[in-house]
Amino acid sequence: MKKLFHFLKTHKAITVIIVLVILVGGYFLLKPVFSKSSTPNYITAKVERTDLINSISVTGQTTAQNKVTLTPKVSGEVTYINLANGKAVKKGEILLKIKDDDARNAVRDAQITLDNAKRDLSKMEGLATNEGSIESIKAKRQKDLTIAYQKAVDGLPAIFTSTTPNIITSLYDLLFQNDLSANDDNVDYYGKSLVLYNKSALQYSEATRKAYDLAKSSYDIAAANYKSNNLTYYSNTQDIEQAVNLTYEALKNINDAVRAALNIVHLYKDSMTEMKLQYPSLVDDQDKILTSYFNITSDLFKQIDTIKNNIQTAKENLINADFDLSDQQTAVDKAERNLKTALDKLADYTLTAPFDGILGNVAEDIHVGDNVSPSTNLATLISQQYMIDISLTETDAAQVEIGQKANITFDALDNVILTGRVVDMDVVGTVSQGVVSYGAKVLLDKMDERIKPGMSATVEIIVATKPNVLAISRVALKNQNNKYFVRVLKSDGTVEMRPVEIGLETDSKVEIVSGLTEGESIIIGTVSTSTSGTNLLRSNNLYQRNTGGSASGNIPQMRMPGGF
């Protein structure tokens, strides 16, 4: 070492050269170590079309879709039994029968009642048989009404023949001629003769006069109507009814007028006899005539009253025909309900499988001849189709709908992936320790014999799908003031900050509604390589920050260092 220092001290030129070499070499050797400059390399991906699927993943437990304890619906003696542990049964298969003689008799009686009610209804509606036709009740009652009108047409002429007009004329002569007194007509004579003995006698006379005037007036109206219409069987029913009603009123008034005249004559005769006074023999003649007229008009009034009532009754019966038909239809409906009730009760004596499944917990001490009741547990039926009971958070529940498809895996079964669908979901959530959850059920589309009730499962529910849409990786997406943009690497090496409109988002991808075209290159990350050869990878997400600017404004292009 002493020799080296001596050599350097005696050879200064050589020493200077050596120092310069060391310094220059050290500079170039250590420069990469202390240099901070680096050249960024971008990691890019293409904008491409793909099918987007958005799903949520939850866990749950496997349960049988249906499970029921089989019990009889009625009490009685067992006549047939078809129960065994492990037995596979189909929906509707008979498992047990109970003696049902009384129930069958009830069905038979209900059937007979229904048949009778239907037969009566058919008769009322009209029925064609091999022996002939049965006219409907409505047709019969329409015919009865027609006959009633025809009888009215037949009966009216007899009323307007000489009998009634003669009574009107004779009654006038009897009341208003001066046969009993030269100074007064007959009706006034009767009243004035008795006024000293009976203060109401004049009122009798006045009432008789008014009764006759009303009878004459109503008769004239009825007769004029009858003659003007010339009624026949084919006349309008309203014209026939009007003629009948006018005739009815006329005959009633005529009969009342005759009765009033007869009353005043009898009052006169009784008063004279009571006072032992003589009266003209003509009074007895008038009494006989009025009595005859009263009998005649009473008979005529009964005839027209019968005609009028027959028409009214026939009209009401025709109207009631619809009600009678309705009542009979009600009777048929009631009989059908009673038959159905009887059949339902008969069905209760036969126990059938409510769904496909496997029998278990069979009561082996039940045999034919034993008595059972609704409290007897016969067996348990478990369906062979399974569901997954799951619990959803508020956020997940807002996305899940009945009918959505799902993929199911099982913790205990490797490489088993089954499909299913959401078949039920709670409407009201359950709150536990301040957390709201919603129960739901996913039904498996098909069965796998390896699946057992109680197994843990993971359910991936597909909540949204969009086929063949433009999509990019989520890491390429940036956000500024709730607006989105991505960095596009252009063909000349420059970077463009481009605004985009997004659609469906999944865990890894996002739909691009507008702003990008298929095949464009977007930046999803950066690899910075220092001159020392050190690689520094920066994810695109590290640069996502809110700069306060607008993503849709003018964003300057950036050129990579080195022209890359």
Average pLDDT over residues 344-372: 93
Chain mean position to CA 221: 61
pLDDT at residue 562, rounded to an integer: 34
Question: Which residues touch 503 (CB under 8 Å, ≥6 apart)?
Answer: 466, 469, 510, 511, 512, 513
Report phi then psi at 522, rounded to 5. -120, 150
User: pLDDT tens across 487-544, in order?
Assistant: 999 888 899 899 999 988 888 899 999 888 988 989 988 876 544 444 444 455 433 3
Burial of 161 (0-12, 13-18, 19+ CB in 10 A): exposed
User: pLDDT tens across 62-77, in order?
Assistant: 988 788 999 999 999 9
Report phi then psi at 68, rounded to 5. -145, 145
Token pair for 391: 């619990």
Q: How far is 19 from 13, CA to CA, in rounded Å? A: 10
User: pLDDT tens across 268-277, in order?
Assistant: 999 889 888 8
User: pLDDT tens across 139-176, in order?
Assistant: 888 899 999 999 999 988 888 776 888 999 999 999 99
Q: How far is 469 from 511, CA to CA, in rounded Å? A: 7
Token pair for 167: 């009574």
pLDDT at residue 544, rounded to an integer: 38
pLDDT at residue 309, rounded to an integer: 95
Token pair for 494: 């420059």
pTM of the model: 0.48
Average pLDDT over residues 446-467: 87
Q: How far is 131 from 147, CA to CA, in rounded Å? A: 26
Token pair for 457: 């499962």
pLDDT at residue 546 tops 60: no
Token pair for 375: 């409290």
pLDDT at residue 101, rounded to an integer: 95
Query: What is the Cβ-side half-sphere exposure of residue 102, based on CA atoms within 13 angstroms?
Result: 9
Q: How far is 393 from 232, CA to CA, in rounded Å? A: 89
At position 379, the amino acid (one-letter code) is A
Query: Exposed e or buried b for every residue in 66-100, given b needs 16+ CB within 10 A?
Result: eeeebebebebebeebebeeebebeeeeebbbbeb
pLDDT at residue 313, rounded to an integer: 93
Q: How far is 401 from 423, CA to CA, in rounded Å? A: 9
pLDDT at residue 163, rounded to an integer: 81
Q: How far is 380 from 365, CA to CA, in rounded Å? A: 15
Q: How far is 551 from 508, CA to CA, in rounded Å? A: 22
pLDDT at residue 8, rounded to an integer: 52
User: pLDDT tens across 286-308, in order?
Assistant: 999 999 999 999 999 999 999 99
Q: How far is 319 from 325, CA to CA, in rounded Å? A: 11
pLDDT at residue 81 tops 90: yes
Token pair for 60: 């749950």
pLDDT at residue 319 tops 90: no
Token pair for 508: 């890894």
DSSP 557: -
Report phi then psi at 534, rounded to 5. -85, 130
Q: How far is 280 from 262, CA to CA, in rounded Å? A: 16
Break the chain down into helix, strand, coil percent, rounded to 5. 45, 30, 25
Average pLDDT over residues 365-385: 92
DSSP 136: P
Query: What are the strands, taking DSSP E only, across 278-432?
Result: 350-352, 357-360, 371-372, 379-382, 386-393, 405-410, 413-425, 430-432
Q: How far is 50 from 469, CA to CA, in rounded Å? A: 6
Q: How far is 528 from 534, CA to CA, in rounded Å? A: 8
